[in-house]
């Protein structure tokens, strides 16, 4: 058994299945068969709102859509209601007959359903047969639960439609058993709660009313008064913020103090790792532990900054924590340049990590055509928010020599011994995309974009105030200690060192 939380009550245990090798091979083959049927279109795929246990989808996609919808609602001065639905022991309460019926409704044949039934016929605990729940730890269990939960979503829409209500008023966001429903017409909240209760009862699942919350999206006084009366009548808590997928989201779409929490957690882990290093654990094991525990926390914090408007102070604290934790783990002096450390070990710096998180988010959005269709609803809000926070990162400044296709970076020392970091994106033959205009300019038509011209002029001022010999020496990396490294390491560093510019390009000294 595993404990679901710190409580050691018997009802708080989650059984873990001990499977034989033959059953594991069978589940793996069945999982590949399901994936092939989905790719061939022979069975129905999950709804686009379901991001749990799906390829090219993650929690960041779900959070990004949720925040974009909430912020667009507040910007339009509309009133909506967000209902966070929690299910009691969701994975342990699955009715097998309902599961088999859900598979039939999704297009699976009887042979596959009998194979699934064969797996659950032999599940026992101390000789007693298991009558409900999916196999904990099985590869096929998440997919089976998603199909059952898809039946819940379909049932909600069916009951809603039978009441002669518009299904367009409901917006779903799903991640495994976490369901978020945003209702467009807040006056229908009581009706939606009744529909939810009826739909879950038909699937033999039970809503946990103590953990189910209602959040207001809007600040009109009459709207709040009506919602308070609704809360008193239904017994469900009314909140102004809620923890969804590990992040606390408030009613205006902002995430509070989550970056600071991740930084504080990384700080505590760094202190623990320092004690292990003093006990002669070794540099390589400490570095592996740093990548496993500390870097993972900071990666999630960088993903938070992509999906929410965080201040420059949060970015600075994240960068300082990343650099200091790496130095302390290796036992180096704080004056050691972090660029030299990353170059010698082949580790990405914090700026490259933030950029990679952003690129991964865009890759996930572009990988699924259905996801692109879904994001068209929030295209303006998402692009404007991301563009405002990353226009310094992604704004293209062209080089005089348009034939050069490789990206390069350079560093200059100012009078305060700080490094002015500037990422120069060279002109690409297909064209350039302006994040301020939200437009793609083909070929050399970018010259008609005022923002591109301003960026080009500012770049020329910086280049004109620097001697050519100094630029060439930096580009050739002759004034660094990297000449001792192998050519492969130097080329990989030069290719991957895309640095984040936190301040506007016109303010760079």
Range of the domain at 246: 19-250
- What does the pLDDT look like over 21-74, one tens digit per residue? 888 888 888 988 988 888 888 888 888 888 888 877 778 778 877 877 787 787
The DSSP H or E segment spanning 361 is: helix 350-367
pTM for this predicted structure? 0.65
Region of poorest pLDDT, from 40-44, 265-269, 306-310? 306-310
Average pLDDT of the residues in 458-475: 50
Q: Does residue 110 contact residue 17 with C-beta atoms inside 8 Å?
A: no
- Quote the pLDDT of residue 340: 80
The answer to whether residue 466 is domain-embedded is no
With 70 as the cut, is the pLDDT of residue 444 above it? no
Residue 461: pLDDT band (50, 70, 90) is low
The answer to whether residue 437 is domain-embedded is no
Pick the residue with more confidence: 33 or 15? 33
- Quote the pLDDT of residue 393: 37
The answer to whether residue 53 is domain-embedded is yes
Count Cα atoms within 13 angstroms, Cβ side, for 66: 35
Query: Tokens at residue 383, please?
Result: 């692009």
CA 242, 362, 371 angle in degrees (round to 5)?
Answer: 75
The answer to whether residue 52 is domain-embedded is yes
Q: Does residue 256 contact residue 250 with C-beta atoms inside 8 Å?
A: yes
Residue 507, classified by CB atoms within 10 Å of its CB into exposed (0-12), middle (13-18) or buried (19+), is: exposed
Pick the residue with more confidence: 281 or 105? 105
Average pLDDT of the residues in 180-189: 85
The answer to whether residue 306 is domain-embedded is no
Count the domains in the chain. 1
What is the chain's mean pLDDT, rounded?
Answer: 70
CATH number for the domain that contains residue 40: 3.30.70.270
The answer to whether residue 74 is domain-embedded is yes
- Quote the pLDDT of residue 477: 45
- Quote the pLDDT of residue 155: 92
- Quote the pLDDT of residue 152: 92
The answer to whether residue 235 is domain-embedded is yes
The answer to whether residue 272 is domain-embedded is no
Return d(Cα 134, Cα 195) in angstroms, integer: 25
- Quote the pLDDT of residue 166: 86
Region of poorest pLDDT, from 117-126, 246-255, 310-319? 310-319
With 90 as the cut, is the pLDDT of residue 430 above it? no
Average pLDDT of the residues in 150-159: 92
For residue 254, give the 3-state DSSP assignment: coil
- Among 496, 500, 481, 479, smallest CA distance to 346 is for 496
Region of poorest pLDDT, from 144-153, 370-379, 486-495? 486-495
With 60 as the cut, is the pLDDT of residue 356 above it? yes
Pick the residue with more confidence: 299 or 200? 200
Q: What is the dihedral of CA 9, 14, 20, 25, to 10 degrees?
A: -170
Region of poorest pLDDT, from 155-164, 179-188, 209-218, 299-308? 299-308
Q: Does residue 83 contact residue 196 with C-beta atoms inside 8 Å?
A: yes
């Amino acid at each position: 058994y595993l404990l679901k939380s710190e409580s050691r009550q018997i009802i708080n245990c989650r059984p873990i299945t001990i499977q034989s090798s033959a059953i594991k091979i069978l589940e793996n083959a069945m999982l590949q068969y399901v994936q092939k049927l989905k790719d061939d279109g022979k069975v129905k795929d999950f709804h686009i709102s379901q991001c749990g246990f799906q390829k090219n989808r993650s929690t960041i996609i779900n959070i990004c859509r949720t925040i974009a919808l909430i912020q667009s609602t507040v910007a339009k001065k509309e009133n909506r209601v967000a209902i966070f639905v929690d299910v009691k022991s969701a994975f342990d309460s699955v009715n097998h007959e309902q599961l088999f019926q859900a598979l039939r409704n999704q297009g699976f044949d009887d042979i596959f359903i009998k194979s699934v039934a064969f797996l659950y016929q032999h599940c026992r605990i101390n000789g007693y047969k298991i009558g409900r729940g999916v196999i904990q730890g099985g590869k096929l269990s998440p997919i089976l639960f998603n199909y059952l939960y898809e039946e819940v979503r379909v049932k909600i829409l069916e009951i809603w439609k039978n009441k002669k209500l518009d299904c367009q008023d409901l917006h779903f966001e799903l991640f495994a058993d976490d369901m978020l429903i945003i209702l467009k017409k807040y006056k229908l909240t009581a009706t939606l709660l009744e529909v939810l209760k009826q739909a879950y009862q038909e699937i033999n699942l039970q809503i946990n009313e103590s953990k189910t919350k209602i959040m207001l999206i809007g600040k009109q006084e009459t709207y709040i008064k009506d919602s308070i009366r609704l809360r008193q009548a239904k017994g469900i808590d009314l909140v102004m913020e809620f923890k969804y997928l590990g992040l606390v989201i408030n009613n205006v779409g902002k995430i509070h103090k989550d970056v600071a929490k991740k930084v504080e957690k990384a700080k505590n882990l760094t202190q623990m790792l320092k004690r292990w290093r003093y006990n002669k654990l070794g540099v390589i094991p400490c570095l592996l532990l740093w990548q496993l525990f500390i870097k993972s926390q900071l990666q999630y914090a960088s993903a938070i900054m992509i999906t929410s408007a965080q201040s420059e102070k949060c970015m600075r604290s994240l960068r300082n924590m990343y650099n200091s934790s790496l130095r302390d783990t290796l036992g180096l002096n704080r004056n050691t340049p972090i660029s030299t450390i990353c170059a010698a070990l082949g580790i990405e710096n914090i700026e490259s990590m933030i950029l990679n998180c952003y690129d991964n988010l865009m890759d996930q959005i572009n990988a699924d055509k259905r996801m692109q269709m879904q994001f068209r609803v929030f295209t303006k809000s998402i692009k404007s928010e991301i563009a405002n926070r990353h226009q310094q990162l992604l704004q293209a400044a062209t080089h005089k020599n348009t034939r050069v296709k490789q990206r390069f970076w350079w560093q200059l020392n100012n009078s305060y011994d700080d490094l002015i970091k500037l990422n120069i994106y060279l002109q690409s033959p297909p064209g350039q995309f302006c994040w301020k205009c939200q437009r793609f300019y083909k070929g050399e038509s970018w010259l008609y974009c005022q923002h591109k011209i301003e960026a080009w002029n500012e770049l020329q001022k910086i280049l004109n105030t620097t001697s050519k010999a100094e630029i060439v020496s930096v580009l050739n990396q002759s004034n660094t200690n990297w000449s001792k490294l192998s050519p492969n390491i130097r080329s990989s560093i030069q290719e991957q060192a895309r640095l984040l510019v936190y301040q506007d390009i016109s303010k760079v000294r």
